Amino acid sequence: MDDSPSNTLGSVRQTRREWITRRSFIAKLSVSTAATVLPGNLTSLWAAIPALPTAPVNLNIIDVAGNLRLTQPSIENFRKANPKLVDKIHFTQAPAPELPGKIKAQQNAGRLDIDLVLTGLDGLAAGIDQDLWLRLMPDYQEKFPNLEPNYLDPARDLYELGKGYGITVTYYPSGPLLEYAPERVKDPPGSTDELLSWCKAHPGKFMYARPANSGPGRTFLMGLPYLLGDTNPKDPVTGWANTWSYLKELNKYIEYYPSGTTATMKEFGEGSRDMIASTTGWDINPRVLGIVPKSAQIAVLKGFHWVTDGHYMVVPKGITPEKIAVLLDLMGFLLRPEQQAVTYDEGYFYPGPAIKDVPLSMAPQASQQAIKEFGRPQYDKLIAEHPKETPLEAKAMVTAFHRWDEEIGAAKLR
């Protein structure tokens, strides 16, 4: 998720319920990279696997995507199982836009105190653009055997966007979904035309957050070109004529755009909004936590395509070799099926696992119970039957965000 609803959802808690945060705003990911497979006579250029430390190390892990909600239990399990490798782990969280400057300043000063970054495509891409990250693949491919074949197809597509600098650790189909209160919305829209007509008849009752800081807002923005039949859904400059026209018309009936998803969930839960943009995780988890009524329903529009999302494990340049060795083992550990099963959580990033053959039956009992009670049987059908699209490439995404900010949200951002 990209931000945290209310006091319950708005602070980093010390338990697995502490996160309701989603940040995965795409930044500059379109770069030239050496992460392609090298010819056989050049394999010596790949990095050697460093030796494990002779004494346990302390690790500093920063999360700018809300991923610790999904992986912190497994990271702690790794520490407990490997006391000769890891002594203590310090976890912090920060907004994704602050990450590149923070790491670059530390690298320039020669005092890097961040060992592992858990990020969405936004932080990953911005770091690639500024040459902050250590290339992981194919350099350390012997530590990740059969990585690509083991990924779910959409998770592999997300991994490929990372150009070898990030390892996908969690995946979900995301959205865009419409979430509505059935007691107030008796006949939910079934098409983009119907959504516009509904908003015109109910001004101020539909809301989505600023796309540059909201998973649901972002997937709504990127999903519209498919719904509206635009000429090129991957090109917001020349291929989104219908989308930009539609958003400008829709803007007439939207009161304001909050800075993140938290406010949309809070206002929807309190009843001041009748319908909001949502995703699978933003639908399930706030209902588990009681922020949104259990009775809330979801709908998709005619021509619906999923716009996928994921989280990555990224290592800054400048980490000592012994820490790199430990981090490689940790990352491999987090990709094991039994650890991937933990990422079902309470529907927070539903489903969550990035690799194949990790059914819900492998998840902890609390996860199974939460999803049984608050999940939706139609999700399996929607995931199976509708196309899954990767997010925009970095430059296109940055362009889309800037244009939305300037032409759509400028006067109504809060």
Q: Which helix (H) or strand (E) segment is 207 a member of?
A: strand 206-207
Amino acid 126: pLDDT: 81
Torsion angles phi and psi, residue 164, rounded to 5: 90, -5
What is the value of pTM for the model shown?
A: 0.82
Residue 357's pLDDT band, with cuts at 50, 70 and 90, is very high
- What are the pLDDT digits (tens) for 224-283? 999 999 999 999 999 999 999 999 999 999 999 998 888 999 999 999 999 999 999 999
Average pLDDT over residues 380-401: 88
Amino acid 1: pLDDT: 52
Domain boundaries, given as residue ranges, for the chain: 6-173+308-377, 174-307+388-409
Compute CA distances 340 → 23, 73, 379, whole Å: 20, 11, 19
The set of long-range contacts for 399-402, using a CB threshold of 8 Å and a minimum separation of 24, is 399/236, 399/237, 400/211, 400/221, 400/222, 400/236, 400/240, 401/25, 401/26, 401/211, 401/212
Average pLDDT, the chain: 88
Interior angle at CA 398, CA 396 and CA 399, nearest 5: 65
Residue 13's pLDDT band, with cuts at 50, 70 and 90, is very low
Residues 6+ apart with CB under 8 A from 412: 251, 254, 255, 256, 257
* Residue scoring higher pLDDT (372 or 126): 372
Domain 174-307+388-409 listed as CATH 3.40.190.10:
yes
Is residue 270 exposed (0-12), middle (13-18) or buried (19+ Cβ within 10 Å)? Answer: exposed
Average pLDDT over residues 145-157: 95
Alpha carbon distance 184, 178 (integer Å): 14
Structure token pair of residue 367: 């996860």
Whether the per-residue pLDDT at 14 is higher than 50: the answer is no
Residue ranges of E strands in 45-105 = 57-63, 86-93
Amino acid 384: pLDDT: 93
6-173+308-377 adopts what CATH topology?
D-Maltodextrin-Binding Protein; domain 2 (3.40.190)
Identical fold at 6-173+308-377 and 174-307+388-409? yes
Contact 400, 243 (CB under 8 A): no
Task: Name the DSSP letter for residue 59.
Answer: E
